[in-house]
Amino acid sequence: MPCPCEPDDGTRKIMARRRDGFVMISIIAERYNIHPQTLRLYEREGLIKPERTGGNTRLYGPSQIRQLEVILTLTRDLGVNLAGVEVFLRLQQEMEQVEMDAELILDSIRRIVLDRRTGMDRENALVKAAPKPLVKILR
């Protein structure tokens, strides 16, 4: 489905007021053919967390819209109930955290290996010298 942030129908005027990419619940409900009460239910269940204005109006940004699209795919297309959606979203979040942790570990290992290689070159040298920055050679 197209992103509601880029309307192509009569909602252009309404949505143009929000330059920050956020849209109101009524626009999301209309665009995705979903009742606003269903969106509120998803919020109560903790499946989606829209931003709020000072007047407590729900605003959906790009990340909340992507989350909603995942929820709708699971419920409408795959027949998953809300408990299953909750499990899926939690597992997805945990996988993203594991990927970030793994990337930090790999960065740390790369740094250690590079430090040791640089240190070994200096230790085996006839004349000890301060390390110089690495220069990338383009071919």
pLDDT (0 to 100) of residue 35: 97
What is the residue type of 91? L
pLDDT (0 to 100) of residue 19: 65
What is the distance between the alpha carbons of residues 63 and 65, in angstroms, rounded to a whole number? 5
Are the CB atoms for 51 and 22 separated by under 8 Å?
yes
- How do the domains of the chain map onto residue ranges? 12-80, 81-123
Fold of 12-80: Multidrug-efflux Transporter Regulator; Chain: A; Domain 2 (1.10.1660)
From first to last of its 139 residues, the chain has per-residue pLDDT tens of 445 444 444 444 444 346 678 999 999 999 999 999 999 999 999 999 999 988 999 999 999 999 999 999 999 999 999 999 999 999 999 999 999 999 999 999 998 888 877 765 555 556 666 666 777 777 6
Which residues 6+ apart lie within 8 Å of 88 measured at CB? 70, 74, 80
- Could you write out the DSSP letters of every residue in 48-63? ---EE-TT--EEE-HH
Q: With a threshold of 0.85, does the pTM exceed it?
A: no
Are the CB atoms for 5 and 17 separated by under 8 Å?
no
pLDDT (0 to 100) of residue 16: 35
pLDDT (0 to 100) of residue 119: 63
